[in-house]
Structure 1
Amino acid sequence: MPIRRNPSWGLPEREVTPEALFLNRRAVVAGMVASGALPAAASTNPAKLAAIAARRTRDAGEPPTPLVDVTSYNNFYEFGLEKGDPARNAGSLRPSPWTVEVGGLVKKPITLDVDRYIARAPWEERIYRFRCVEGWSMVIPWVGVPFSSLVRAVEPLGSAKYVAFRTLADPAQMPGLRNPVLAWPYREGLRLDEAMHDLTLLAVGVYGRRLPNQNGAPIRLVVPWKYGFKSVKSIVAIDFVENQPKTSWNMAAPREYGFYSNVNPEVDHPRWSQARERRIGEFRRRETLLFNGYSEVAGLYTGMDLKRFF
């Protein structure tokens, strides 16, 4: 997800963290868990998360980011604007029972019971690179299934060209909704062929465990060649539609956040370059790869001007 606006005289958030503090983050988080500062439901302790059996079907070819970082450094504005807010505040989310309404231009609309779905689906572990628009990145072992399996189950009509996603918006569970940084509920969308691509994942877990609340429990999208805010969390509705759906960050700041939001080092954010990134846990910067290195999606955009359709 994107970050809130800084004043013109302010340094970007990614540039101001002292190195010693960054290195000490894991110790700080561990202390917060031990002291009870992190709610039990949002704890980074994997023993508190139910395991999901999965077979590994894709590997990023580099070590995964440690679980403590994946679960303590997040963008999830429904629980606060700072990176540590979701881990501190997401204990109020109730991820079970949970249903997702899947409908729109389809032959077979369904109400997806997530607990039953988790119990019976043939889950896969896929280790993906994950890149956020602010310049930080992770390598995350997601547990999920190709989103295309859900698409085939509902049988979209020929008029369906896009998929629209909507997340939960319950102020009783999500204290960040009091902040009008976005027009809630959070909305995202993909073109149907993007949604059908094998890389697009409907995820229910990380590290072989069910998703922690702060990571989008109980069910979320993962689109690894796009910036992280496209991977909508805590989904409650999926609709197949004819026209390009409105998306939250594009509505809030259309000059900064386009509908496609593909990782592209040649398209800068208006307030910073996207040419380089910093992997969480590292201090050296690395070159950003087009489509986050997932070149197999390039055919989706043949003939498109990727600077215009950013």
Structure 2
Amino acid sequence: MEPKNLSDISEFFLMGLSEDQELQPLVFGLFLSMYLITVAGNLLIILAVSSDTRLHTPMYFFLSNLSLADIGFISTTVPKMVVNIQTQSKAITYVGCLLQVSFFSLFGCLDTLLFTVMAFDRLVAICHPLYYTIIMNPRLCGLAVLVSFSLSLLESQLHISMVSQLTFCTNVEVPSFFCDPPQLLNLACSDTSTNVILIYCISAVFGGVPVSVILFSYSRIVSSILRVSFSGQKYKAFSTCGSHLSVVCLFYGTGFVAYLSSALPSSARKSAVPSAMYTVVTPMLNPFIYTLRNRDIKRALSKLISRTVLSEY
């Protein structure tokens, strides 16, 4: 079977989560509901933070940017999947596949970098509270988000460059519901050893370095909290970090399982479920994790909803 250049391939076929036609309405309803919940939940956080002046702090500034990144992250994959189920089509164009790779890498990397910045913010708040307002000034916060976006854009361009150099045989069936770079590597007919090395290097730099910074930050935070003598202060310090740490563990845990399974060709189709956890469930749970134990966010949301209801009368 003769391989052909990617530029000669007009479309790929996304095989989705299941080929069982009876399950398609269930999958359609489930993923559409999760998408709407994710977008609504993250938009509410953004509106709450922007409307309440008491939330105009570095922590909530980063949280609102994370919510924006989560909306982009889930919007890269789920709408196309829902449309394909509705139209009973599995096709995605070559350009559409490249766009998915680009935006998926962009928002995924942006999530990891924002997690890192938020961990540093908590480190300064707990370990150096007297210098917090000096260190985490508006200029530094804005610069941190700008640098995070720029690095994420660079990472997405590296993924695009890598995928555009691949050659494929006639089998272009992607065993997932979106164009995932590791899955595309498994489908390539050409030698992918250089691409595999490149993707590991990208993961080490844009994934390993943030994880190292987060682990270092929380090791310092835990060490600082354990030195506090009052239990009430310990609980308050842990509660401010608990939500962020939960989201980080959920994001990296599901992401690690998804990419570990997608790297094995024999279990490529089985990796669709971990990928769904990583790309859909995690962004959906983030607003709930951040709001359920956060009194400031809940208070701002209550005011926002009350103001909206009163304006209708």
Which structure has more helix as a fraction of its residues?
A: 2
**Taking CA–CA contacts closer than 8 Å with sequence separation of 6 or more, which of the two structures ends up with the larger relative contact order?**
2
Larger Rg: 2
Give the TM-score normalised by structure 2.
0.26
Give the TM-score normalised by structure 1.
0.26
Which structure has more strand as a fraction of its residues?
A: 1
